[in-house]
Amino acid sequence: MIVTRLHSSALGRRSLLIAAAAAPLAMPAIRSARAASAPIKLGFVVALTGAFATNAQAINFGFQKALGEINAGGGLLGRMLEAITRDSAAEPTKAVSFTKELLFNNDVDMIGGPTNSGEVLPTLGVVTAAKKIQIISGSVDQLIDPVKYPYAFRCLNKAGQWFTVSVKYTLDGLRRRKVAIINDNSGFGVLAMQSVEHVLKAAGVTPVYRVNADIGQPDMTDEINKARDAGADVVHLWSNSTGFLARVLNARGQQNWNVPVIAIPAVLQEQVANLLTSRAYWANVYSPAYANSVLDAKGNLPPATQTFLDRYKSEVGPFMAAGIYAMLQGYNIPMIYAAGVRKAGTVDTVAVKQALESIPTIDLPYGPFHFSPTDHDGFPDDGMVMVAANSLHPNGGFEAAPAGGAG
């Protein structure tokens, strides 16, 4: 704190000079007083158009609602939150460019997103170098590294958790060991294939059939038949493309092969059901979904989820198709940041980082998060629950998958 001392005697020339010289020194004091009421700026890079836009739009919805709630409650540390959103159109070059714009042009206090793993990868180095908190919204395991990117945290599960939970259900729940993996040839599909095989190998299982098929291939009958011929008794599907998932399920149905399918949560979307030639093909399909969307015995959603849906019931309509979890995922971003800032008492990056690492649990409708100096992923394995795809209820929830499968 700079203190200006004006000579208390009559204002002579010398005093004027001192005053003139001292005035700029007083500016920081005035500026920090003004800063205390200036908004906290959250930069948000989200792929509202382009690949997986529906998913990102739901995430954006949750994000903006969380922001509104925090502001309605008086803001953070007495300051309002301001979101500066940029649409990266699922292009990594735009994600990098907008991240730099937010950091250097808009002087944001933290970066939320990007929302696709391919876009997150190039931005991590940039945000770390600028020393700002980044709460990423991509699932690929490699994104989080507390050593390389100390200020980056995740707001959802990591992809590896889908695989560990699914393999566990395959081996212990369904009790099947002859696994066929049918993925697409996108980046995620290739990566997922490697990860799943890795998890299976650790349990001593080798897939009987594996393929990275062309994501746009119109007919998947060939792959289904090959899996069947190889003696598979369970099929894994790790593709983010609703079209691809639907086509494989259609082929399975048309070939009258009632093999259980375990797939990525994208298979739970109403969009997939709409692409099926028969809704019956959605049966015997399971997915590692989230406890936040699982119904209890009475058909009710968890209380926190229901509260969110009730509060925004007039607006959630268009985003339900992407899955409740997508909206809650976006809701996480400002909330996690707010928890860290409140504990730290400041927006200083290092302080917030340490605060986040020391909060025992951040309880959110999506699930509980627990970060530590060595773990910036934070989401527990038991936040994921296997559900049956065709158990989608009108309220957006699912029934938990039976332990032994449908038979």
Partner 1 sequence: MLLVLISGLALGALYGMTAIVYNVTYSTAKVLSFGTGHFAMVGGIIGAFLILGLHWPIWAGLLGCLLVGALFGYATELLAVRRVLVSSDQHLWVLSTLALAIMVQEAMGLWWGTDPTPFPHLFAQQRGGLLDQKYWLPIIAAALMAGGLEIFYRHTLLGKIFVAVSEDDFAARARGLDTGRVRTLSFVMAGTLGALSGFAAGQLTFADFNLGTTLSLAGFIAAALGGIGSSLGAMVGGVVMGLLTAFTSHFFGAEYQKTIAIGLLALVLVSRPQGLFGRPLMRDV
Partner 2 sequence: MVGPAGQRRPQTIAAAAIALTVLVPPLTGNLYYVHVATVIGVYWILIATLNLLVGYTGTLSIGHIGLLAIGAYTFAILAGTVGWNSYLALLAGGVLCASIGLLLGLPSLRLPGFYFAMVTTAFGLIVSELALAEGWLTNGSVGMAAPTFPAPFASPDGFYTLVTLIGALVTWLCWNLARSMWGGRMMAVRDSRIAALSLGIPPARTKLIVFVFSGFSAGIAGGLFATSQSYITPDAFTFNLGLYFFVSIIIGGRGSIIGPFIGAVLLALIPELVGSLQKYGTFFYGAILLAVVLLIPGGFGELAARIGSGPKAGTSDATGTGPDLGRLHEAITRL
* Residues forming the site for partner 2 (CB under 8 A): 48-50, 86-87, 89-94, 96-97, 100-101, 103-105, 117-118, 121-122, 124-126, 140, 142, 185-188, 190-191
- From the CB of 221, what's the least distance to partner 2, in Å? 23
Please identify, using beta-carbon distances, which residue of 194 and 314 lies nearer to partner 2: 194
Alpha-carbon distances of 188 from 5, 26, 141, 250, 266, rounded to whole Å: 64, 55, 11, 22, 13
Query: What is the distance, to the nearest Å, from the Cα of residue 353 to the centroid of all Cα atoms in its chain?
Result: 19
- From the CB of 278, what's the least distance to partner 1, in Å? 8
- From the CB of 123, what's the least distance to partner 1, in Å? 23
**According to CB under 8 A, which one of 40, 159, 213, 261 is a site residue for partner 1?**
213
Question: For residue 357, what is the enclosing H or E element?
Answer: helix 349-358
Beta bridge partners of 182: 211
Question: CB of 329 within 8 A of CB of 156?
Answer: yes
Please identify, using beta-carbon distances, which residue of 48 and 171 lies nearer to partner 2: 48
- Residue 189's Cβ-count burial label (10 Å; 0-12, 13-18, 19+) is buried
245-264 mask for partner 1 (x: CB under 8 A)? --------xxxx--------
Using CB under 8 A as the binding rule, whether residue 275 contacts partner 1 is answered as: yes
Tell me the residue ranges of DSSP E strands in 215-353. Answer: 234-237, 261-263, 285-290
Number of residues that bind partner 1 (CB under 8 A): 26
Please identify, using beta-carbon distances, which residue of 102 and 322 lies nearer to partner 1: 322
Rounded Cα gap, residues 305 and 273, in angstroms: 23
Please identify, using beta-carbon distances, which residue of 88 and 166 lies nearer to partner 2: 88
Using CB under 8 A as the binding rule, whether residue 185 contacts partner 1 is answered as: yes
Question: CB of 292 within 8 A of CB of 325?
Answer: yes
Please identify, using beta-carbon distances, which residue of 131 and 175 lies nearer to partner 2: 131
234 three-class SS: strand
**According to CB under 8 A, which one of 18, 51, 304, 400 is a site residue for partner 1?**
51
Task: Give the HSE-up count for residue 24: Cα atoms under 13 Å, Cβ half-sphere.
Answer: 3
Rounded Cα gap, residues 346 and 201, in angstroms: 46
Residue 277, contacted partner among partner 1, partner 2, none, CB below 5-8 A by kind: partner 1
Residue numbers of the site for partner 1 (CB under 8 A)? 50-51, 53, 185, 211-214, 216-219, 221-222, 225, 241-243, 253-256, 271, 274-275, 277
